């Protein structure tokens, strides 16, 4: 039941603060009006002393906007009834057996074995076990709130032409004090997409800006949404600007980049990009031979990534590529040209970079190699006759 509530976007403290009287089965609503949090540490003679390991304080919700009435799935109310019956039975059994039970929190839903409100550590530990048993990445109670926000937005954008309006509704549902917080949560989640999702969603086919520049906590921000060819809708927020004029100038710049198909919607780390490019594109699409795959993998792992790992593709420069090429033996240069030429062309096509640094880096390196070879040939030609004459004189002796 608690997990169902989290998938509705409630904060964990809000869930622990819920009473059975907050549930209205007939209206299918839950009223959020309080939160239960761990007692704050006490500053005593300059030292922080924890009041209690599981001590709980019932207090008002985080902000005025956090007080809200939410519609929920019908299963929530069935689970609430089951939970109430189980707690009553638990209470009777423990008291009958003369075991410890606290009546202080009677009526609350998030009660532990002895009548106290559950601690956050208890639920996170249970969530960790569930994730481990299911073989999925471990998430925390707060992660579930972020996931809830994302699911709400993604569902809404499939049925609404203006994602900003959906964000307003999601912000109210989550009890955020301002929509900027909602924007931050969702965009952070979207930017953490897998490398395959970022590349595979295709080019930007449409964009929508709010008509006016938005004021947020005394600063100005630009909010807009991007639609990709696979139907993905990505909201963006750019800021914070000191003046409305600065924000408008940036907005005009972004519109120009979008029109020229130069706007980078999502940054991707070099290691993630090359993993996808080699294994998904070159192997599965281009169907390169195994020997070529091994050669390319060697170049990527032993030469490219040691220099640009941890950086996004859009900040890699031709100087970085020249540094990589300079570290290679002459025999590796030709396949390295192939790796750089193909991979950065692919990155440019998918608007992961604005400019292709590989073109100039390869051209400069080829000229350097040609010049070096020419100098060596000139030196050999200059020194050749002299060595032959010296050899002839030695033989004559």
- Per-position b or e across 340-374, b if 16+ CB within 10 A of its CB: bebbbebbbebbbbeebbbbebbeebeeeeeeeee
Residue 397 lies in a domain: no
What are the two backbone dihedrals, phi and then psi, of residue 233, each rounded to the nearest 5 degrees?
-115, 125
What are the two backbone dihedrals, phi and then psi, of residue 242, each rounded to the nearest 5 degrees?
-70, -35
> 193, 215, 235 — which closes off a domain?
193
Same domain flag for 14 and 99: yes
pLDDT tens for 167-223 read 667 777 777 766 666 666 665 555 545 455 667 677 888 998 987 887 777 788 888
Residue 384 lies in a domain: no
Same domain flag for 6 and 128: yes
pLDDT tens for 113-138 read 888 888 777 878 888 888 888 888 88
Indicate the burial class of 313 (C-beta count within 10 angstroms; 0-12, 13-18, 19 or more): buried
Q: Provide the CATH number for the domain around residue 214.
A: 3.30.160
> 214, 231, 260 — which closes off a domain?
260
3-state secondary structure (DSSP) of residue 50 = coil
Which residue is listed with tokens 């570290």?
Answer: 327
Q: What's the confidence (pLDDT) of residue 339? A: 96
**How many Å apart are CA 264 and CA 347, to the nearest integer?**
11
Q: What's the confidence (pLDDT) of residue 264? A: 87
Q: Provide the CATH number for the domain around residue 342.
A: 1.10.150.130
Same domain flag for 33 and 115: yes
Q: What's the confidence (pLDDT) of residue 255? A: 93
Residue 158 lies in a domain: yes
Same domain flag for 7 and 128: yes
Q: What tokens does 376 get?
A: 């060596």
Could you write out the DSSP letters of every residue in 8-19?
A: TT--HHHHHT-B
Same domain flag for 5 and 123: yes
Task: Look over the chain and give the mean of its residue pLDDT values, rounded to a whole number.
Answer: 81
Q: What's the confidence (pLDDT) of residue 51? A: 42
Same domain flag for 231 and 304: no
Residue 85 lies in a domain: yes
**What's the structural domain count of the chain?**
4
**CA nearest neighbour of 352 among 306, 314, 299:** 314
Same domain flag for 242 and 313: no
For residue 69, list its beta bridge partners. Answer: 31
Residue 395 lies in a domain: no
Same domain flag for 188 and 233: no
**How many Å apart are CA 184 and CA 203, to the nearest integer?**
23
Same domain flag for 15 and 124: yes
> 260, 281, 296 — which closes off a domain?
260
**CA nearest neighbour of 39 among 55, 63, 18:** 55
Reply yes or no: is the peptide bond before residue 259 cis, omega within 30 of 0.
Answer: no
Q: What's the confidence (pLDDT) of residue 232? A: 78
Residue 388 lies in a domain: no
Residue 253 lies in a domain: yes
pLDDT tens for 64-94 read 767 888 888 888 899 899 999 999 999 999 8
Same domain flag for 13 and 130: yes
Same domain flag for 113 and 162: no
Task: Give residue 27's domain range.
Answer: 1-134
Q: What percent of the chain has pLDDT over 90?
A: 33
**How many Å apart are CA 335 and CA 295, to the nearest integer?**
8
Residue 390 lies in a domain: no
- Which portions of the chain are predicted below pLDDT 50? 41-53, 192, 194
**How many Å apart are CA 244 and CA 212, to the nearest integer?**
10
Same domain flag for 108 and 24: yes
For residue 71, list its beta bridge partners. Answer: 29
């Amino acid at each position: 039941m608690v997990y169902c509530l989290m998938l509705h976007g409630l904060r964990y403290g809000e869930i622990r603060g819920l009473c059975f009287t907050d549930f209205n089965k007939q209206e299918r609503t839950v009223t959020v009006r309080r939160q239960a949090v761990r007692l704050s540490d006490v500053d005593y003679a300059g030292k922080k002393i924890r009041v209690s390991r599981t001590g709980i304080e019932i207090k008002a919700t985080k902000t005025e906007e956090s007080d809200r009435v939410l519609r929920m799935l019908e299963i929530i109310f069935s689970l609430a009834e089951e939970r109430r019956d189980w707690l009553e039975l638990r209470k009777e059994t423990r008291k009958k057996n003369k075991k410890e039970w606290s009546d202080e929190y009677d009526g609350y839903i998030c009660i532990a074995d002895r009548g106290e409100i559950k601690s956050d550590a208890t639920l996170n530990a249970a969530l960790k076990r569930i994730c481990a048993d299911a073989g999925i990445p471990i998430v925390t109670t707060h992660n579930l709130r972020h996931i809830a926000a994302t699911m709400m937005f993604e569902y809404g954008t499939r049925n609404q032409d203006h994602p900003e309006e959906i964000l307003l509704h999601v912000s109210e549902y989550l009890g955020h004090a301002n929509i900027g917080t909602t924007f931050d949560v969702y965009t952070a989640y979207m930017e953490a997409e897998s490398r395959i999702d970022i590349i595979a969603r295709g080019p930007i086919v449409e964009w929508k800006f709010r008509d006016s520049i938005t004021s947020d906590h005394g600063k100005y921000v630009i909010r807009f949404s991007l639609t990709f060819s696979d139907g993905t809708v990505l909201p963006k927020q750019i800021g914070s600007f000191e003046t409305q004029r600065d924000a408008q100038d940036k907005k005009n710049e972004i519109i120009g980049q979008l029109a020229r198909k130069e706007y980078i919607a999502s940054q991707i780390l070099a290691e993630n990009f090359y993993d996808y490019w080699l294994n998904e594109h070159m192997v599965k699409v281009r169907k390169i031979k195994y020997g070529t795959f091994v050669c390319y993998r060697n170049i990527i792992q032993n030469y490219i990534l040691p220099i640009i790992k941890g950086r996004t593709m859009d900040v890699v420069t031709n100087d970085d590529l020249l540094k990589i090429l300079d570290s290679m033996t002459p025999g590796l240069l030709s396949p390295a040209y192939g790796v750089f030429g193909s991979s950065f062309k692919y990155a440019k096509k998918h608007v992961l970079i604005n400019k292709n640094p590989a073109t100039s880096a390869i051209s400069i390196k080829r000229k350097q190699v040609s010049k070096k070879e020419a100098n060596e040939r000139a030196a050999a030609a200059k020194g050749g006759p002299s060595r032959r004459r010296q050899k002839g004189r030695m033989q004559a002796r």
